[in-house]
Amino acid sequence: DVSVSAEGRSGGAINDNLVVYTDHPKARVMAMAAYGQIPEPLTVSPNVITLLANAGARPVTRYITVRPGLITNFKVLKAEFPDPSVNVSIRQHNQYGYQIMLQNINATHDLAGKEVVISTDAPGREEIRIGIQIMDNGKVVNPPIVENGAPK
């Protein structure tokens, strides 16, 4: 019998190697590839919102989906975008959880590195953070380095 434990690992896909030690004289050690999925309390997609900051770009809409995982009975209580001019709405779908719509996003450099914060009543996932990545001319815009509360 062989059993594999994923204790202490976070949820998501796992690719690893199993090493099996045997008492067989011709095959004392065997290595096998192991692939699997560790269930998460909730499944959130995407894990990063990527926005293009091109000159003359129009405001865009993005969606976040929060689906049941190990926790099947939960509520999304609120979602906050770092720019207050963005319209945030939450819609529950019986079959696949919640859809969060973020409308009127202006992809500016000051959003780089900030996060969308989602609050739920799911134990262990009361707060979900989705990073915001800004791309400008094919390059990732890095957030400003902050020391002592002032941008550098």
Q: What is the pLDDT of residues 33-53, one digit of tens each?
A: 888 877 888 999 999 999 988
Stated length of the chain:
152
Cβ contacts of residue 109 below 8 Å, gap of 6+? 53, 134, 136, 141
- In DSSP notation, 69-85 reads SS--S--EEEEE-SSTT
Cα–Cα dist 129/141, whole Å? 19
- The mean pLDDT of 11-32, rounded to a whole number, is 83
Cα–Cα dist 45/77, whole Å? 17
Give pTM, 2 decimals: 0.74
Residues 72-106: pLDDT tens digits?
Answer: 999 999 999 999 999 999 999 877 899 999 999 99
Q: 39-43, 46-50, 60-64, 141-145: which range is least confident on average?
A: 141-145
| Token pair listed for 138 | 């094919």
**What pLDDT, on the 0 to 100 scale, is given for residue 151?**
52
Chain CA centroid to CA 150, Å: 28
**What pLDDT, on the 0 to 100 scale, is given for residue 146?**
58
